[in-house]
Chain A
Amino acid sequence: MSSTKEFIVDGKGLTWTVDTLDQLTQAEIYGKVLTDMARVRPDIVVCCADLLKSTKLREFQRTFPQRVFNFGISEQNMMSAAAGMSLEGLHPFVSTFGVFASMRACEQVRTDVVYQGTRVKIIATHSGLSFGQAGTTHHCTEDLAIMRSFARMTVIVPADSFETAQVIRALVDHEGPAYVRLGRGFEFPAYESDQFEFKIGKANKIKEGDALTVIACGVGVEGAKEAAESLEFDEGISIRVLDMHTIKPLDREAVQKAARETKRIITVEEHNIIGGLGSAVAEVLAEEGVSVRFKRLGIPDTFCQIGYPEDLYKVYGIDSDGIIKAVQEMLKV
């Protein structure tokens, strides 16, 4: 599996361009699945804003050139236009980087995509710190908080490309709007294939355990899985791992069950600890009145440093090492 760092071999790097990048990552799976679905769903169209290649929609374009609408670099315009297309009966899948989908076009999403009552699907790529080298203008660590606060919005963070495939298939039959947060496609996969049971709003139990539950989304799932395996192998500690792919509507039952059965919960997300998965889980715990030991791993309310994603996950403690450390600390007391 590729990692961003593979491109960095001092003086002997790979030759690649924006045209070939999708062949080097697993990000292309999204475009492939959407193309497959579009074969049987003639109402599916794609909207993009000069990032067709980066958002891995070239195969879709090759297959259905008439069904791609490139608005140039005008995300706000694109978002409201997609809403209009949906109101007239099309099923638009809108793609741009997460930072632009959620923040540049924020009010267009809230008022036009959501409030007007559309079924626009926003597929936001390069989210979280997946384009960490690009600096703060391209870091996207606030989107879940924003999108989660829109009434009627569904918010999904797939763990990897295999789960992304599942999400896309599910969304084709999903009536309302949705925000799907993807990375850059370099992520290590958490699943072995796309053949597993998936339902929007229902957490996947990746590993059973009773000492503690790690509730993760996105890249946190693979990290948590790895952490759980080594804790079990090295220290005989058995922790539960939940892939909480749907941030909204949250699987409250899975959270309650974890609280009751393991008494300790750690959340992991590639997002500010304010407003995202950790906050959503905390809300459930507080409202249910269950008392647990609780910790949120994520970005500690700061703008992040520049760097390769896998390095930044380490810096902010959301990789497997960081998760192991947090688990050990919580179990100590």
Chain B
Amino acid sequence: MQSPSLSHKDVSFLEGRAYDLRRKLLLLTGKIGGAHIGGSFSMMDILVVLYHRFLRVDPQNPRDPERDIFVLSKGHGAVGYCLVLADMGFFPEKDLDQFNQTGSRFGVHPDRHKIPGVDASTGSLGHGLSLSVGYALAKRHLKRQQRVFCLISDGELCEGSTWEAFLAGAHFKLGNLYVIVDFNKMTQDGSLAETMNMEPVRKKLESFNWSVREIDGHNINQIVEILENLPEPKENTPTVILAHTVKGKGVPWMENTSVWHYGGLDEEKEKQALADLAHYYGRNGK
């Protein structure tokens, strides 16, 4: 279903950004020696839609107290996240050539002291949701109307702290807190089901008294629609969106595997990945 406010032009713009940023990520991986490709690709479409259409943030004033908050709890997605921030104009994209390099602002995980637009220094999994609960509580307390978004990985559901935060979100009635789970069913050692069975995820979240929604996290229309129809921040129930995604989405041989969780590409593999990605987007070689 197409969201009423979304034209075909909008969809192809957003898809174009997602394609372009995935492409740039592959090029950057070749350049810097290695990157978290799998988890960056699984959340890319969500981030593109969130930043280009929904988050009220100002690249010229990244610490504006009246901004929406976004916490990337799965900090290892920094490479994908930073490409989106650069795309929004928080800093020049060229700066990302320094990713991972000595003395750089950009490490494997994002640092709020170093990167404009980053609201939390993450990378130790299972912290982001608690930080977001704090942000949301403070916004409430200070009577600020903006919203707090937090993107967590499904692997983070293994951390007890994540569930403590889910408890607190409902207990404090944080309707201004919106969590997106990048539900790619993969972790670092293999599939989530094999590593630590998490099902039934939806039921667990519902029993924690959150409003639970499910979408295909690669369908631009669905992402827009769900974000357009989120409850108002003054409501009493926090929302969690289970976004069904595919680790490594866009390059078939990187999809649905933990192998490309983190890796490097030589010239030949890079070329092949770029060609396969272009093919996936129906853009032969462009």
Contact = CB atoms under 8 A, between A and B. Distances in A.
A50 B269 CA distance: 27
A82 interface: no
A115 to B, nearest CB: 20
Tell me which of A12, A13, A99 has the highest count of chain B C-beta atoms within 10 A of its own C-beta.
A13
Given A18-B258, A18-B261, A72-B155, A306 B123 contact: no
Contacts of A133: 100-101, 107-108
B12 interface: no
A77 interface: yes
B160 interface: yes
Contact of B155 (A16, A73, A306): A73
Interface residues of A, number: 45
B266 A13 contact: yes
A36 B219 CA distance: 49
A14 B266 contact: yes
- Interface centre among A53, A71, A73, A307, by most B CB within 10 Å? A73
B267 A53 contact: no
A13 B158 contact: no
Given A18-B188, A50-B189, A73-B155, A104 B124 contact: yes
B166 to A, nearest CB: 15
Residue of A48, A72, A76, A315 contacting most chain B CB atoms (<10 Å) = A72
A136 B121 contact: yes
Interface in B1-58: 30-34
A17 B267 contact: no
A18 B263 contact: yes
A49 B111 CA distance: 24
Contacts of B269: 15
A292 B33 CA distance: 46
Contacts of A134: 107-109, 123
Contacts of A14: 33, 264, 266
A8 interface: yes
A132 B108 CA distance: 9
Contacts of B156: 73
A192 interface: no
Given A51-B188, A137-B75, A17 B31 contact: no
A71 B107 CA distance: 27
A71 B158 contact: yes
A7 interface: yes
B102 A306 contact: yes
Contacts of A70: 189, 195-196
B237 interface: no
A137 B109 contact: yes
Interface size class of B (residues with CB under 8 A): 35 or more
Contacts of B123: 134-135, 137-138
Nearest to B102: A307
Nearest to B101: A307
Nearest to B36: A18
A111 interface: no
Contacts of A49: 158
Contact of A18 (B100, B101, B195, B259): B259
A10 interface: yes
A198 interface: no
Contact of A12 (B122, B188, B261, B266): B266
B260 interface: yes
B195 A50 contact: yes
A308 B106 CA distance: 12
A74 B109 contact: no
Nearest to B156: A73
Contact of A54 (B121, B159, B188): B188
A52 interface: yes
Interface string A1-39: 000000111111111111100000000000000000000
Interface string B185-210: 00111001001100000000000000
Nearest to B198: A72
Contact of B262 (A17, A306, A308): A17
A285 to B, nearest CB: 35
B282 interface: no
Contact of A306 (B30, B34, B104, B268): B104
A21 to B, nearest CB: 9
B82 interface: no
Contact of A137 (B103, B124, B264): B124
Interface in B167-190: 187-189
Contact of B34 (A13, A132, A136): A13
Given A73-B159, A138-B109, A306-B106, A53 B33 contact: no
A308 B124 contact: no
Interface string B123-146: 111100000000000000000000
Contacts of A48: 189
24 contacts: A8-B32, A9-B33, A12-B267, A14-B266, A16-B263, A17-B260, A18-B263, A52-B189, A71-B196, A72-B192, A99-B124, A133-B101, A134-B107, A135-B110, A135-B121, A136-B111, A137-B109, A138-B108, A138-B109, A306-B102, A306-B105, A306-B106, A307-B101, A307-B102
Interface of A: 7-19, 48-54, 70-74, 76-77, 99-100, 104, 131-138, 305-308, 311-312, 315
Top 4 closest pairs, chain A to chain B, by CB = A72-B196, A307-B102, A135-B107, A137-B123
Given A17-B264, A53-B189, 16 more contacts: A12-B267, A14-B33, A15-B263, A15-B266, A48-B189, A70-B189, A72-B155, A74-B160, A134-B109, A134-B123, A135-B111, A135-B121, A138-B123, A305-B103, A306-B114, A308-B101
